[in-house]
Structure 1
Amino acid sequence: MTTPPPPIRVLVADDQMMVRQGFTMLLGGEPDIEVVGQAVDGHDAIAQVSELAPDVVLMDIRMPGLGGIEATARITAPADSTVKVLVLTTFDLDEYVYEALRAGASGFLLKDASADELAHSVRVVAAGEALLSPNLTKRLIGEYSRVTRTVSRDPGKARVGALTERETEVLSLIAQGLSNTEIAELLVVAEQTVKTHVGRILAKSGLRDRTQAAVFAFETGLVRPSGRMT
């Protein structure tokens, strides 16, 4: 008899008690998800990550003291960090998307998401996938296009040059928000083959996860705002 995998350990960080309790209740009914703690601000979140070792942190953007973006940066900064941060906010604003992903967040979800969407998002992020809602992905592309016009791309271009043609193609598709399954269907290859390509892309480029890979693709100019490769 196969032993089921351990539940995904989640820490909820939000300064509003009702929000923390609401998320805890919604996720508590999922058999494969366990809420292991609640944090009231960024400092508390950092301390509880160290103590509880969650797999995923649901991180509010605006909190007193230390906000969610800075807390995310500190949590994901260690090279050996495996914690995924899913940023939650009521503000559908470009700068929050950009800053959160730059800080190391693996996903970005609006607080009005349904219970099913929330649970799905936790599973996706825990599995190492990047998560952005479609409307936020479009805005993110535009923001990177604007910001990276003034950024030197030479160091990044050298790392892109280390990738094979297929790896470069997979990287561009990651940046467009496609999952491994969708990439496999598009390229007509096995999903495991895509996973292998993703692993090699991360290793060659010195990147932590798919979200950093997407950031990298935009910042080096590999992908244009239209979603096309350069």
Structure 2
Amino acid sequence: MRLQKILVLFTFVAGTAGCAATQPKKAPTPVQEAVEEEPPEEKIVLPDGVEGMDINGDNKPDVFKHYKEVEGEQVIVKRETDLNADGTIDVTRHYSLAQKPIKEIIDLDFDGKIDVTRHYQEGVLLREEFDLNYDEKIDMTKFYEDGKLIRKEQDAKLDGSVDYWEYYDEKEVLERIGVDHDGDGEIDDWHLGKDKSKIADPESGGALSKEGPPPADDLDKGEGTEAADSP
């Protein structure tokens, strides 16, 4: 399908009184974002202009690329996508001035609420947060190292506290599962991968450590560990 570009230019006027600003064509209503503080080097950049593209041939823009002028060049700092052509933005991705992704928010069920938030560092996926029951609260978080999944934490009981952990090896294969049965924030039982048989309890090294689950040798020796701090 041939892309039909629809240019939507924003003109921002500052400093001189009486200057008129060109009125921009309205983009679809974006998904409401929670305001949060970003690391200093990963601040979200405000755009100077936007370009819309029609990708489904209905003569309406579905993708919006927001640009910032940097040293005379137009640099993309935000991309918005209307996946189902209903006039509402479903995916928003922010970029640094180096044009690397910083943050991405996704509305999976097209209800105007955020279901998945992805955080990046230097363009590499760092963390994913999921709202599994559509109550606008984080129920599951996936952590990545060098772009690979290393840990998953979940509020399986949906009571506001993490009670389920998964740890993955360097090949992203599920290695161990930790479960908190009594809601005290500490792992009560460890299970080996997808095997539901218990391999350890708190007295034999099953408590969560700052380094993650204890090695199999430590579990056999019964060496205890302390509860982990949340990242």
TM-score of the superposed pair, with normalisation by structure 2: 0.28
Higher relative contact order (CA 8 A, sep 6+): 1
Q: Which has the larger radius of gyration?
A: 2
TM-score of the superposed pair, with normalisation by structure 1: 0.28
